[in-house]
Amino acid sequence: MEMDQQPTTDILTVETIHTYIGQFHILEGVSLRVRRGGVTVLLGRNGAGKTTTLKSILGLTPPRQGQVILDGQEIQGKRAFEIAGLGIGYVPEHRAIFRDLSVAENLKIAERRKGDLERRADFIFDLFPDLKRLYKLPGHHLSGGQQQMLAVARALVADNKLLLIDEPSEGLAPVLIEQMMEAIRELSATTTVLLVEQNFIMASQLGEHYYIIDDGRTAHDGAMADLIHDTALIRRYLGASAARVGGEFAARSEQRRGG
Amino acid sequence: MKLKGFWRQNSTFVVLMVLLILLIPLGWITMGQKPFVRTVLSGLTLGALYLMVAAGLTLIFGLMDVLNFAHGAMFMIGAYAGWQFYTNPTFLFGLAPLVFALMTGLAATPLLRPLVIGWPVPEEWQRRLRTFLILLAIAVGVIGVLGLDLRDLAKTAMVSTMVAANPLAEATPQEPLARFWLRPTLLLIAGLLMALAQARPGDQTQIVHRAEQRRGWIALLALLALTVAAVLVREPAAIVVLKMNANWRFALALLVGMLIGGGIGAVMETSLVRPLYVRPFYLVIATSGLAFVLKEVVQFLWDPLPYQMERPPLFAQPGKADSILDWFSAQTTTVDILGVTFPSYRLFIIVLGIVMLLGLLGLMRYTRLGMIIRAGVQDREMVEALGINVRRVFTLVFAMGVGLAALGGIGAAPFIPVEPVMGDRFLMQGFITVVLGGMGSVSGAAVGALLLGLARAFGDYLALKFQLTPAISEASTVIIMAIVLLVRPSGLFGKKE
Amino acid sequence: MNTTTSTSKTRVVTGRFAAWAQQQVGGLLLVIGLILFPFVFSWLYGSPVDSGPPKFWQGQLIVVFITAVYAMSYDLLMGYTGILSFGHAAFFGGGAYAMALFLAHVAPRIASSYRIVGPGGVNVTEIVLLVVGFLAALVVSLLLGLLFSAVSARVKGAYFAMVTLAMAEAIHILSKATDFVRWTGADEGLHGVPVPAWINPIQFRLRFYFVALAFAVVMYLVTRRIVHSPMGRVFVALRENESRARMIGYNPAVYRSLAFVTSAVVAGSAGALYALWTMSATPTMTGAGATVDALIMTILGGIGTLFGPMLGAALMELFGHFFYQWFGARWPLVFGVIFIALVMFLPYGIVGTWQQRSAQLRALLKRASQQRRQDPSDS
Amino acid sequence: MNTSDVILKVCNLRKEFGGLVAVDDVSGRVLAHTLHAIIGPNGAGKTTLFNLMSGTMPPTQGQVFFKNHDITHLPPHRIAHLGIGRSFQITNIFPNLTVLENVRLAAQAMGKDSFKFWHHFRHFQQYEEKAQQIIERVGLQGLAETPASVLSHGDKRKLELGIMLASDPEVLLLDEPTAGMSSEQVPALLEIIHDIMRAGDKTIVLVEHRMDVVMSISDFITVMHQGRVLAEGTPQEIAANEAVQKAYLGALYGDLGLVAEA
């Protein structure tokens, strides 16, 4: 295995991984390359295998075949805590915060070294000012949007070089989606983000590079700027409404260029 | 708003406490002062004992979803270990080098890994090789233990209970060092063979960590030094312990019982429980099988007889103290509490229970480990994803839970007969306690233990009054549990769903 | 026309019978073997059927037959319905105590006042009373089954296991409570139960042997029919996916209590026969040990197979006998270690593992024969 | 609109989980013999609404009516017997039983023979025959004796549908029947749904994630967002509805100025 082909551009390489959950063959050969810096988006229908891809990278559902290379180091087959310890933060879907722990504890538990939280507190409260106000409250008192913010904030406590974020917009009100988008944009300036997102507007606004997962395989990839022009492709894999958003974006970018 | 939230969270607790407080004057008046106080005190004693079993059970269940049916056996093992340490520790000191030697061998696993993963072992032979190595290790280990002075334990135990005044006379002579050193050596080899199997020769899919290597060396050397030390101090240490002040010896016995329990818990989790997490059904069966085996082992070593452990001198001076303050200077067997003559050792059990509860609550509330446990009860996967080694936390919590049960065992030993079945009754009551309080909740277990202890004590009182036997009140605790569960299917403080 | 249809019909019937016999050939051979066993054994051993080792081994097998039914009843609950109950001893012991109490305290009074002698001097009263005793045992275990399922209806998972355990423990405590010593003998148990002379296991061991054998065979057939009935299929559905079973219109609570009651009645009948065999009822029969025995036998033989637990029962009795001879009083230690190893490494039990292996083997053979068939065409 | 045509009605339904309001004061009705789709983005409360209608969860507030009977607090098995069948988004079958047995059990559930323990289950041929028919209808012929757990994902989705059809419900609640299917498998499943509608005696309530599938097959559409009903109407009306466009197409409408094309 050539380990350091492009140590500077790719932070994460996933090579044809196959993942099973019980007897179910969920991933049948997913390959990805995540470039250092910015946001890479995983797109695809419900049940296509996006979440499983994230979990496979992190070792929560370890792949049976294939390779996962983080910063030139093979990490497949390691235990999840070891992989996370190498600098991967994870924001699961459905706002999986610890409901019986306070906001403070939810953040504190993510420390990998003593004092992590103090060091990062300003950055986190800058992104999500609400959390400062709610600091002492137990997690189950938070609203859905606040829980989602806490889940993202939790992944920022430790020094992570890569964040895996799974559907942060799910079930959020439009205003909150906008806030979340801003936050992710801001944090992606310092960290690489691999984002799973169904909301095509959010995905297309944030992502520079995209991968489409379909039926447990990587079906397509490229630059987001190209994808929004390819209405047929979007319609095929993501549905009509996403295609319409893509069309709208394409038209606007044309306009901008024209004007 | 805040009050409403507080009420919603703590309503059960508040209602229960108010009820209990209302019952006090009622009991005081109807029963009369003396019987009432006596009954409350015995209820508290029982509650403390139940808590010691239930705390570990509820922790283990909450975090790992494991119903540990061997918990009662651990209570018993703790009692035997502590009692043995208190009366005649030669056996334990003779065993320690062997255990350390085996651990030393096992600690070599990460060091062997980089050496053996390159071995040219074909894939289909890897498993067979590992099985062979483990069987070989077991054989070597058995040879190492063979002929150890085990059968004399029952005899010395009997003697030491009879001539309690001078236990030194019973310090059995041990095998001479010239012959004994072979045993740890053999166990070291057994441990190394197991380590070799664990390093999975030929399996190149493994990853070798540098950090693990360095830590491995440190652990190996430390354990080796410990083994050598244990071999050397084997005889003198036993004599030192026996010459010690009996109160200190008892305190040390509490610690030793707890540590041995914790050690067994850790071994049990890594060897027996871990492979079965995916099959919870079998976990129940395996732990009850283990309880069965442990009871048999104890009967094999100590004969199936009940023993009575003497009380440490702190609670054994003849006479009665007029108050608790008085007892501190007189150290008498009994204390006068609100007109009731009460055994001072039972007060010690109550205090031990309270200390344990406070320690545990503090641990859960204020330490990082406690935070991880509380988080893990909700979502293990996410805890792991944050970079925390959940598997190690599991082992730790399991060891802790079992250690608490063992501590309960040795604490109870001067108070109830030390016998192979001593854990069974407490396991049953411990389960009821945990179910009452709601599985996974430490404070729930505490309230459950309090309720159950008091219910038993008052039940016994009522049963006697109506000329029934305590058996009836014991059986009726089940009815309490059934009623609670019919109203709240997941216990008083359990999570819904 | 008519004749042809009738012959084809008979052919169908005989064909069906032949197919059935072919399917059951192992079972039939086993039953025939067990019928012949006392005679063959005594002939081989050279001592009469009703004394010495032949009598002893009949006794061993009687225990096997009874515990086999008991283990099977447990599997009906655990293996087929997916209910992990820790209170099974209550049903077994309940049946045993019902039978023993009836024979010891009720039957003699009735027998002394009413005495019917049938043709040939047969004591009809005795037979009727025995049947009534047996029915009493069934009713008691049925009620216990209802009680258990009612109390545990709302609790799930670990709570359920605990509730059943605690209920059984309560019954165990009552069975040895000194309050009822006049009737139950408390700790000692109820001994010297007046079992009707004609079935007395000491005098008429061989007769009892056949009764127990017939009991085991009948109970096996009944249970198998239940498992394969529409109701039994619902049990399996509950085991597989309770919430889905509820969504397609089955009320889980009802079927769970049905499973409980069925299992309790089968276990209670085994307990009643066991009381006759030992002529006693003791607290050990209601104790947690008896539940663990059922569990061990079921796991040993294989969960979810009716025959597995029966085989497990036989193996455990035989192990017990020989281990005692080899290892002395501490034989359970050896057995316990073997059992744990079995749970760890042979989780499907003997019958289960054998079924898996044979399925794998069959698949392998099939593939091999297909290849062989293809090979000539290739070349 | 004649009220007797209303087969399913929900009034002011509300469901809270902890601090989260999943379904927020939802009212609506489903007309008999129509295909009524509920759409909305992830987390809009569609599946929760289904859970409330099929009795899997009790609502915090509000009522559910089936043919003018209040079924709000009936347990799921009673609701199933009344004639409401339901399929699940996450495949929910009896994994270790064969396909035939899966469907047969569902057919048996509606009969009166489930308490009979003295006959072999093969004695009741009618269920077996019905199961065979259904298996063919959902396109699983030849797989009757296969254990359900080894089916491919698409076939499992079909089995899911078959289990529901076997109990012959009047109302079918389909929760994302195409979830996890590849684009090639979807048309076959839609064909089955069309087939059911053509028979004319069933009402389907369909939760879907994707607008394109829904637009082509439904008679009425309810759009949910944030646990609330955003709009209701025929596919044409929905396509023309500006609020729907805004909410459903994304959150940044103000910024982007997306307008419906109608």
Neighbours of chain D (3+ CB pairs under 8 A): A, C
Mean pLDDT of B290-302: 87
pLDDT at C5: 47
User: pLDDT by residue (tens digit) across B38-89?
Assistant: 899 999 999 999 999 999 999 998 888 888 889 999 999 999 999 888 887 8
The structural domains of chain C, with segments of one domain joined by +, span 34-301
- DSSP state, residue C190: B
pLDDT at B209: 67
CA distance C68 to C317: 10
Mean pLDDT is highest, among A15-19, B206-210, C118-122, C146-150, for C146-150
At residue C374, does pLDDT exceed 60?
Answer: no
CA distance D87 to D102: 13
Distances (CA, A) of A94 to A8, A168, B7, C23: 33, 8, 28, 53
CATH 3.40.30.10 assigned to D1-83+170-262: no
Q: How far is C231 from chain D (nearest CA, A)?
A: 5
CA distance D225 to A141: 22
User: pLDDT by residue (tens digit) across C227-262?
Assistant: 999 999 999 999 988 888 998 889 999 999 999 999
Closest CA to B56 of B43, B42, B77, B75: B75
Percent of chain B scoring above 90 in pLDDT: 27
**Residue B166: what residue type?**
N
pLDDT at C99: 95
pLDDT at A239: 67
At residue D259, does pLDDT exceed 70?
Answer: no
Would you say B390 and A81 are in contact if contact means Cβ atoms under 8 Å apart? yes
Where residue B351 falls among pLDDT bands split at 50, 70, 90? very high
| Least confident span in B175-179, B352-356, C244-248 | B175-179
Token pair in block for residue B176: 């001479």
pLDDT at A4: 43
Task: Please report the ipTM that was assigned to this predicted complex.
Answer: 0.79
Q: Which CATH class is domain A1-87+161-229?
A: alpha beta
Q: How far is A22 from chain D (nearest CA, A)?
A: 10
The structural domains of chain D, with segments of one domain joined by +, span 1-83+170-262, 94-168
Residues 172-231 of A with CB under 8 A from B: none
Mean pLDDT is highest, among C206-220, C293-307, C352-366, for C206-220
CA distance B55 to B405: 8
Question: Which of C228, C250, C258 lies at the smallest CB-CB distance from D109?
Answer: C250
Would you say D242 and D256 are in contact if contact means Cβ atoms under 8 Å apart? no
Percent of chain B scoring above 70 in pLDDT: 90
Neighbours of chain C (3+ CB pairs under 8 A): B, D
pLDDT at B409: 93
Q: Is residue A203 within a helix (H) or strand (E), and if so which, with residue range?
A: helix A200-206
User: pLDDT by residue (tens digit) across A60-89?
Assistant: 988 888 889 888 888 887 888 988 988 899
Where residue C68 falls among pLDDT bands split at 50, 70, 90? very high
Question: Which of B371, B384, B385 lies at the smallest CB-CB distance from A105?
Answer: B371
CA distance D18 to A139: 10
- Quick one: how far is CA B441 from the chain centroid? 18
pLDDT at B225: 93
Instruction: Determine, for residues C252 and D77 on separate chains, whether the beta-carbon distance falls below 8 Å.
Output: yes
pLDDT at A3: 43
At residue B93, does pLDDT exceed 90?
Answer: no
**Mutant choice from B10, B382, B495 vs A, greatest count of A C-beta within 10 A:** B382
CA distance C316 to A116: 59
Mean pLDDT (chain D, rounded): 82
- For C346, the closest chain B residue by CA position comes to B282
Q: Is the dihedral of CA C291, C295, C297, C298 positive or negative?
A: positive
Distances (CA, A) of A108 to A83, A118, D40: 19, 9, 36
* Residue B319 φ/ψ, nearest 5 degrees: 110, 180
**Mutant choice from A23, A81, A112, A141 vs B, greatest count of B C-beta within 10 A:** A81
User: pLDDT by residue (tens digit) across B402-453?
Assistant: 999 999 999 999 888 999 989 888 888 898 999 888 888 888 899 999 999 9
**Residue A205: what residue type?**
Q
Token pair in block for residue C269: 């009948």
CA distance C233 to D164: 18
At residue D2, does pLDDT exceed 50?
Answer: no
User: pLDDT by residue (tens digit) across B197-214?
Assistant: 888 887 776 666 676 788
CA distance D55 to C246: 10
Residues of chain A with CATH 3.40.50.300: 1-87+161-229
Question: Which of B289, B296, B435 lies at the smallest CB-CB distance from C343?
Answer: B289
**Mutant choice from B131, B285, B464, B472 vs C, greatest count of C C-beta within 10 A:** B285
Asked if D96 reaches chain A (Cβ–Cβ under 8 Å), the answer is no
CA distance A164 to A92: 8
Question: Which of D114, D119, D120 lies at the smallest CB-CB distance from C250?
Answer: D114
Cβ atoms within 10 Å of C58's Cβ, excluding its own: 24
Closest CA to C315 of C299, C304, C292, C291: C299
Burial class for A228, CB neighbours closer than 10 Å (0-12, 13-18, 19+): buried
Token pair in block for residue B416: 């109830």
Mean pLDDT (chain B, rounded): 84
Where residue D252 falls among pLDDT bands split at 50, 70, 90? very low
Cβ atoms within 10 Å of B90's Cβ, excluding its own: 24
B405 half-sphere exposure, CB direction, 13 A CA radius: 35
Closest CA to D37 of D163, D247, D210, D167: D210
CA distance A12 to A54: 12
pLDDT at B8: 65
Asked if A110 reaches chain B (Cβ–Cβ under 8 Å), the answer is yes
At residue C96, does pLDDT exceed 90?
Answer: yes
Alpha-carbon dihedral of residues B442, B444, B449, B454, nearest 10 degrees? 150
Question: Which of A74, A101, A112 lies at the smallest CB-CB distance from B387?
Answer: A112
Partners of A17 in the beta sheet? A30
Q: How far is A20 from chain D (nearest CA, A)?
A: 13
At residue B151, does pLDDT exceed 60?
Answer: no
Would you say D7 and D30 are in contact if contact means Cβ atoms under 8 Å apart? yes
pLDDT at A72: 82
Where residue D4 falls among pLDDT bands split at 50, 70, 90? low
| Least confident span in C70-74, C94-98, C356-360, D14-18 | C356-360
CA distance C317 to C333: 15
Mean pLDDT is highest, among A236-250, B64-78, B455-469, for B64-78
pLDDT at A100: 85
Residue B39 or D179, more confident: B39
- For A252, the closest chain D residue by CA position comes to D256
pLDDT at A258: 59
**Mutant choice from B59, B71, B293, B484 vs C, greatest count of C C-beta within 10 A:** B293
Would you say A82 and A59 are in contact if contact means Cβ atoms under 8 Å apart? yes
At residue B1, does pLDDT exceed 50?
Answer: no
At residue A259, does pLDDT exceed 70?
Answer: no
Would you say C261 and C142 are in contact if contact means Cβ atoms under 8 Å apart? yes
Closest CA to D147 of D136, D159, D138: D159
At residue D177, does pLDDT exceed 80?
Answer: yes
Residue C316 or A229, more confident: C316
Rg (CA), chain D: 19
pLDDT at C148: 92
Chain D hits for C241, Cβ within 8 Å: 92-95
Distances (CA, A) of B410 to A104, B260, B414, C122: 39, 11, 8, 63
Residues 6+ apart with CB under 8 A from B278: none
pLDDT at B465: 86
Percent of chain C scoring above 90 in pLDDT: 35
User: pLDDT by residue (tens digit) across D100-121?
Assistant: 999 999 999 888 888 888 888 8
Token pair in block for residue C270: 């085994």
Would you say A46 and D182 are in contact if contact means Cβ atoms under 8 Å apart? no
Would you say C17 and C11 are in contact if contact means Cβ atoms under 8 Å apart? no
Percent of chain C scoring above 70 in pLDDT: 90
At residue A246, does pLDDT exceed 50?
Answer: yes
Would you say A166 and A88 are in contact if contact means Cβ atoms under 8 Å apart? no
Mean pLDDT of B366-370: 91
Where residue B171 falls among pLDDT bands split at 50, 70, 90? low
**Residue C335: what residue type?**
F
Chain B hits for C337, Cβ within 8 Å: 293
Residue C144 or B150, more confident: C144
At residue C326, does pLDDT exceed 50?
Answer: yes
Q: Is B26 helix (H, G, I), strand (E, B) or coil?
A: helix
